Amino acid sequence: MNKMGLKAVVVTVLLAAALSYYIYTPMPDAIQEPWKLMAVDGFDSTMVALVGSRSPAGVVPGVKISDITFAGVPVRVYEPPAGGEGHLRRGLMYLHGGGWAFGSGKLSLNVCRYRLFPEVLFPEPFLDCVVAAKHFLSPEVLDKYAIDPERVAVSGDSAGGNLAAAVAQEVATDDSLSVKFSVQALIYPVLQALDFNTPSYVQNRNMAILPRQVMVQFWLQYLGADISLRPQLIANNHSALQHSALTPELRSRLDWTSLLSQKFKKSYKPVVVERDSHGLLKKIPGLLDTRSSPLLAGPEVLAKCPRTYILTCEFDVLRDEGLMYARRLKDAGVSVTSDYYEDGFHGCLSFISWPLDFDVGKRALRSYMTWLQNNL
């Protein structure tokens, strides 16, 4: 099929997918070219393969690419040309998204390919990333790749942003490490699982790409819990007032009524449940683990975190936890850049090439890259 024929097929299918989707789920007015977003959410994986037929993943002119392991964890290493004798590079460890269940370090410019559901459950993906990070930060490895130990970052998107934040906390508080991350860059990160009724969760509960029920399912899978518990978590029964483990101090760490500005609180009200008759916190102890929910970390941990960039989008269930994390890090004395997109949606940075290209994705990617250029 020639290029024009491929374009015709793709456009026809995208329009059909968009039309069928729009019948059931209208898009917010602020979304530019909403038919594209409808199409993204509407067609199946076979069509994704068709419209995604671009250059082979990972092919970057002039960059050496190696698929190896860091202490047993599969990684893909991208090495730009050396800058001459004595020139040190900057280093970036990137953790891919995909709800801890999908994705691969071989599909894009990702570094760490941690094990996924259903092969493993929490905390194994986190532990994989910690092992890989400590290996990457070792003086021997940094010297091998000519990386400046003062200019090493950890970054990730969505579930990868969750892992990046958790790994950054782990590394920052590990006194045995001589080299630590100098910055962390989190792209619409997943940061907590105790409140699925924040304003952004309620506002975007049926939003394309990542509706609330899908995010809750990702959490249940990651924490090894029964999917049938999803309605209980959506109702916030797992964070009922009866739970003594949820102390006032712990609740304050994700209290959106005090951590969000009025712009984001709008007219939404907290969903607070008195009693949990299902014993959810005992069934799912990972809900209270800071390794799965970095937003729950105490101020003494946050104060040790590196300079931070957090990207959030208006049309994303995860918006508020990213904003709350930015606020709490700032309150702990960390330098934070909060990059918010009023017309953004979850996953927008993945859609920057024809035919599913969005201007907001291109703007957000440029901003992310510029921040790294200026801060790493």
Helix axes 159-172, 124-137, angle to 10 degrees: 60
Distance CA 273, CA 242 (A): 9
Q: Is 316 a catalytic residue?
A: yes
Q: Is 335 a catalytic residue?
A: no
Catalytic residue among 41, 96, 155, 158: 158
What angle (nearest 5°) sits at the alpha carbon of residue 231, between those of residues 226 and 236? 105
H helices of 208-253, in order, are 212-222, 230-234, 248-252
Catalytic residue among 238, 320, 346, 350: 346
Name the CA radius of gyration of the chain, rounded.
21
Contact 310, 325 (CB under 8 A): yes
Q: CB-hemisphere CA count at 13 Å for 183? A: 22
Distance CA 92, CA 376 (A): 9
Other Cβ atoms less than 10 A from the Cβ of 286: the count is 18
- Beta sheet of 336-345, edge-to-edge order: 89-95, 147-157, 183-187, 307-315, 336-345
Other Cβ atoms less than 10 A from the Cβ of 246: the count is 17
Q: CB-hemisphere CA count at 13 Å for 69? A: 7
Catalytic residue among 316, 320, 339, 343: 316
Q: Is 339 a catalytic residue?
A: no
Q: From residue 122, how far is each of 54, 188, 373 by CA, in Å?
A: 34, 20, 33
Contact 239, 198 (CB under 8 A): no
- Catalytically active residues are 158, 316, 346
